[in-house]
Amino acid sequence: QKFIAFQQYVIGLRKGHDYLLSQMGNADETPVSFDETSNNIIEEMGTKSVIIKTLGNEKMCVTVMLAVLADGIKLPPYVILKRKTMLKDQLPTGIIVRCQNQGWMSTDLMKDWLNTVWNRRPGVLVCKRRMLVLGTFKGYLTPAMRNIIGEMNATLAVVPGRMS
């Protein structure tokens, strides 16, 4: 029910403001773990506890902010490492890497994402009207963040909770 109402809201925004598909973006963050456990467990029936073997990296994870435009263009992945300082190693091209102590998105990193990814997408200088659809991360919803997004001439549409 919430999804249908949200979908109609976004469609109404598009029609009302005549957004180009290339200027409508959807972005959200997702955790990526480096420790994959097997889905297959072989143990005797009725066993009360089962030992699961891991690679030892269960606490090692990164956050990735992924974004796509409504015309299908994928924006560069924004990877947040759980570190204090940047790696000295050569990093792959086509991704943007940042560090944060906890390894997750913060309000400051969101501002950086807006400047380094959202504001550098194709056609950003040509069109004045744009829409950005985001999840409900509290760092997106602060008055300061709404002002920053508004100053970028973007309408913010926030996906209702438990749908993103």
Tell me the CATH number at 102.
3.30.420
160 contacts 136 by C-beta, under 8 angstroms: yes
Q: Which amino acid is at 109?
A: L
- With respect to residue 130, please indicate whether it lies within any of the assigned structural domains: yes
- With respect to residue 35, please indicate whether it lies within any of the assigned structural domains: no
- With respect to residue 36, please indicate whether it lies within any of the assigned structural domains: no
pLDDT tens for the chain, residues 1 to 164 = 677 888 888 888 888 888 888 999 999 988 887 656 656 666 677 777 766 665 555 556 789 999 999 999 999 999 998 888 887 787 888 999 999 888 888 889 999 999 999 999 988 887 778 999 998 777 777 888 888 988 888 888 888 765 44
DSSP 42-95: ---TT-S-------S-TT-EEEEEEEEETTSPBPPPEEEEESSS--SSPPPTT-
First to last CA, the chain: 14
Number of domains in the chain: 1
- With respect to residue 52, please indicate whether it lies within any of the assigned structural domains: no
Q: Read off φ and ψ for residue 23, nearest 5 degrees.
A: -115, 15
Q: Which domain holds residue 25?
A: 1-29+59-158
Q: Which residue has the tokens 């509290």?
A: 138
What is the model's pTM? 0.78
Q: How far apart are CA 67 and CA 89, in angstroms?
A: 25
